[in-house]
Structure 1
Amino acid sequence: MRITVLCWNFERNGSGSHIARFQAHETLRSLNPHLVLRQEMWGSDADGHRTMFELESILGMRGWLGPKSSTAIFVDPTVFEPVRTWPDTGPMWVQPPTALTVRFKPAGVESMPLAVVSYHLNYGSPGNREVESEWLTTWADKKWTTLEGQTFTTPALLGGDSNSFPTPGTPNDPPLPTLSKIEDRPHRLHRSYIGPDGRRQMDTRPDEILRTAGLKDVARYWATAPGGNTAAIARTVNGCVTHGPDARVDRIYATTDLLPAVRGVDVIEVPLTKSDHHILRLDLDGDVLTDILTRPISATLPAA
């Protein structure tokens, strides 16, 4: 069984257009996802969460809307079931994430659950992004206690709009912009920070923070893995005159225990008339995922 995870910042949630929302989520549904991480869910809580219910219906999935209608998670209820929510995602968030702990149903009721997070780091403040990224790392350290009293750290999968750049070093990764060539002067500030040498440099700190905490950029992993493909590190936003060249600001991170299940990462390009971000897709091997989620439990059980 292949498990498809999609991550998409759909621009302004269609800017109030029912038709735009419908078409965008029909596109998502056509990709047969089991897990969708959405950003820019603006207005989805209005009129008794009417838009949220609409999107659930289009996708044929169950959804959770985060605080301030910034982010959301949708799951295929035949594949994943929630075991807890995380309504308090910590301080400092301008656009709070949506976080769930879910169980992969094919792995069985006694399997280890995993933490899933849809995030949207701050657009205008590199300092705020740094703190938000530090709080994101707390989902790589969530504990779960089994009915037998055994406690484990759950695997974690986090995806969203990082509004910053991956650390250079992966062949064929879109290069970092040159700060002086970004024509929009406020955007220079939004995407850079003062480095140790006192000079302003492009912001890669969220990526560095998450990787320091043991999370891996799955696109970077797949682009360099045996049998992988550099399509994984395609742009997720198009270059433009004011904001600089193509960039990979949308990323999915996973704890290292999940990496053996990765079977593909790619980017589905979306016309700019629909959204300013493309769709990031991660494919997981369900059988390997089951093995990962049951191995810690079986290792603690007494021999028959």
Structure 2
Amino acid sequence: MLINAAICNFENNGGGDRELWQRMHDRLASLDLHLLLRQEVWDAQDNGNELARAAEAVLGMAGLIGRDCCTALYHDPNLFTPADEFPDTGPMWVLPPTVRSLRLTGTAPGAVPLIVGSYHLNYCSTTTRLSEAERLTQWNDRWVKADGRRVHCPALLGGDNNSYPVPGAPGDPALPVLEEITDEPHRAHRSYIGSDGMRRMDDRADDTLRTAGLQDVARHLATTTGNIAAVAATVDACFTHGPGSRIDRIYASRQLLPAVRDLEVIGMKGLSDHHTVVVRLDRDTLTDILNNPIGRAV
């Protein structure tokens, strides 16, 4: 069995257009997802959680709406059982993430849970994005005591990075040329001044996460299997913002990579300005990883 996990940024979650909301959620339901990492779930808790409950019904999943409806997590209750929630994700967030740990059905009593997180890095500040990315690295640094040693809880994190991956993966969209971005505020939003005084396109969040051992799943597949479709753009080219870019990404702890089977960018044109990224994990391999976690002496 494959476990399908997806990230989806849908800005019109509320917005008064219920028909569009319904079409988007019907589309997501058709993907047969077991984990869904949502960004911008605006208004989900209004009117007694009306949209939150409606989304659970359409998706057939259980949801956790994060602070201020900035992000959310959905899981298949037949496959995952909630373990812990982590509401204190740090003070620096403009759009706070939603993070929890989940136990996979069929794992042994001593298995570790999988930490799952949905995040949305700040759109206009490279400094804030870097700080937020640094904070995200804590989820690849969760250790629990078991059988006289400390064992690592692996993480699967995904979201809108509002910035670019470090160049180098085969097939990855090229970074925009700063001077060719016609929207001048966007030039500032997506670039930073390096130590040499030159302005560069912002890839620091990606570098920070990968330095901390959180692997870009699409990059991993493109590099190790030649699947360059995995690194397709997740937002289309725009006259003001420049060429198509891969700003929506899924990161996984290194030990999870053997479970990765595929990653697909699902077109959402007409529904959202972001495409949906779906990663497929082999359940048996994931079960073995969680049953036999990386450990170290206490």
TM range (shorter): over 0.9
Give the AA of the match of 2:36: V
Q: Where in structure 2 are there 5+ consecutive unaligned residues?
A: none
Shift of 1:296: 3.1
Partner of 1:91: 91
Partner of 2:279: 282
The within-5 A match list for 1:16-35 is 16-35=16-35
Matched residue SS, 1:235: coil
Give the AA of the match of 2:183: D
Greater alpha carbon shift after TM alignment, 246-255 vs 48-57 = 48-57
Matched residue SS, 2:293: helix
Distance 1:44 1:230, change over 3 A: same
Greater alpha carbon shift after TM alignment, 291-300 vs 207-216 = 291-300
Within 1, Cα distance between the matches of 2:192 and 2:140? 26
The alignment's TM-score, normalised by the length of structure 2, stands at 0.96
Q: Where in structure 1 are there 5+ consecutive unaligned residues?
A: none
User: Identity over aligned residues, as a percent?
Assistant: 51
Partner of 2:239: 241
Partner of 2:53: 53
Shift of 1:7: 0.6
Partner of 1:215: 214
Partner of 1:110: 110
Partner of 2:129: 129
The within-5 A match list for 1:188-199 is 188-199=187-198
Give the AA of the match of 2:60: G
Partner of 2:186: 187
Give the AA of the match of 2:272: S
Matched residue SS, 1:171: coil
Greater alpha carbon shift after TM alignment, 109-118 vs 63-72 = 109-118
Shift of 1:197: 0.9
The alignment's TM-score, normalised by the length of structure 1, stands at 0.94
Cα deviation, 1:24-43, whole Å, max 9, x if unaligned, reads 11111111000000001111
Partner of 1:165: 164
Query: What's the Cα RMSD here?
Result: 1.6
Within 1, Cα distance between the matches of 2:253 and 2:293? 15
Matched residue SS, 2:292: helix
Shift of 1:18: 1.8
Equivalenced residue count is 297
Within 2, Cα distance between the matches of 1:106 and 1:154? 17
